[in-house]
Amino acid sequence: MSKMLDSIPSLPVADAVESFMDLLTGNFSSLFEFVQSGGKTAMEFITDILIAVPPVVFIILIALIAFFATRKKFGLAVFSIIGLLFIYNQGLWEELMNTITLVIFASIIAIIIGIPFGILMSKSSIAEAIVKPILDFMQTMPGFVYLIPAVAFFGIGVVPGVFASVIFALPPTVRFTNLGIRQVPRELVEAADSYGSTGWQKLIKVELPLAKSTIMAGINQTVLLSLSMVVIASMIGAPGLGREVLSALQRAQVGNGFVAGLSLVIFAIIVDRLTQSLNKKK
């Protein structure tokens, strides 16, 4: 049996993928260069603005947002102050700002793409059958693999890091949007139909508001997955706290790696609690 299997020629999957990538990079190189330069300029602009804000002002602003987002509870606000002061004290403030920029861009792009696809899946069983396997592929493929096309398209830097992060973080928003809309009670949808609502009115005024909590849960996961790609994206030149972790790993600096990793944990907790608080009913 093994001899029979050995006699079967190998499928040229790798060659086919290489040819496809060469086709894309050859025909759309100008587009990729435009996205690379434009994206880099936009992200550097946002990072410069964040760095220009005095750390004390930034920390106070985050603490106030946390205070009011959590219905005037002090827990997250106090944690934000202590955690951000720790990051500043360790000399990682600029790296934190670069990380925030990467997470913001990756999350926004993933949400802008993900919600419409989720709506499409909820409205069409055919679309759901097509998109679901793609989402499964995106979620099960190791994150490091996404670095290969990212570098092929955009070279080295923060833009390919955002590209890889978007692919990795996109599925939760799509899945949860689809799930949330499909879970809207059928009676309410039929009531909207009986009042003569158009499909757009039904979506905006009934389905999306009722699916909000589920969609926000997906957005929360997308933001956290974007943050989890920070270290991996640093391998292709993306700046931020991930680069500090990678540098510590390469130099076997346990202390520096722990501090950079702890800073990422602090930032992740703040982001997670803030996005969760937006999903709670008043």
Cβ-based neighbours of 172, under 8 Å, separated by 6 or more: 114, 218, 219, 221, 222, 225
Is 82 within the bounds of a domain?
Answer: yes
Is 19 within the bounds of a domain?
Answer: no
pLDDT at 251 over 60: yes
Region 227-238: what's the mean pLDDT? 81
pLDDT at 84 over 90: yes
User: pLDDT value at position 7?
Assistant: 66
Is 22 within the bounds of a domain?
Answer: no
User: pLDDT value at position 108?
Assistant: 92
User: pLDDT value at position 6?
Assistant: 60
Assign residue 173 the CATH number of its domain: 1.10.3720.10
pLDDT at 52 over 60: yes
Lowest pLDDT segment from 141-150, 202-211, 243-252, 273-282: 273-282
User: pLDDT value at position 5?
Assistant: 56
pLDDT at 217 over 60: yes
Cα–Cα distance measured from residue 68 to residue 225, given in angstroms and rounded to the nearest whole number = 25
Is 9 within the bounds of a domain?
Answer: no
User: pLDDT value at position 55?
Assistant: 92
Q: Domain of 209?
A: 30-278
**Among 274, 250, 252, CA closest to 83:** 274
Is 8 within the bounds of a domain?
Answer: no
Cα–Cα distance measured from residue 85 to residue 247, given in angstroms and rounded to the nearest whole number = 23
129 vs 12 pLDDT, higher one? 129
pLDDT at 195 over 80: no
User: pLDDT value at position 1?
Assistant: 55
Cα–Cα distance measured from residue 234 to residue 267, given in angstroms and rounded to the nearest whole number = 17
Lowest pLDDT segment from 169-183, 234-248, 264-278: 234-248
**Among 161, 148, 168, CA closest to 47:** 161
Is 86 within the bounds of a domain?
Answer: yes
Region 7-24: what's the mean pLDDT? 76
Region 97-118: what's the mean pLDDT? 91
Is 16 within the bounds of a domain?
Answer: no
What is the Cα 192 distance to its own chain's centre? Answer: 34
Q: Contact 184/210 with Cβ under 8 angstroms?
A: yes
Average pLDDT, the chain: 85
Number of domains, the chain: 1
pLDDT at 257 over 90: no
User: pLDDT value at position 56?
Assistant: 93
Kindly report the three-state secondary structure assignment for every residue of 166-189. Answer: HHHHHHHHHHHHHHHHHCCCHHHH
**Residue 245 — very low, low, confident or very high, per pLDDT cuts 50/70/90?**
confident
Is 24 within the bounds of a domain?
Answer: no
pLDDT at 57 over 90: yes
User: pLDDT value at position 8?
Assistant: 65
Lowest pLDDT segment from 7-16, 107-116, 134-143: 7-16
Mind listing the pLDDT tens digit for each residue in 126-144? 998 999 999 988 888 877 7
- pTM of the predicted model, to two decimals? 0.85
User: pLDDT value at position 61?
Assistant: 93
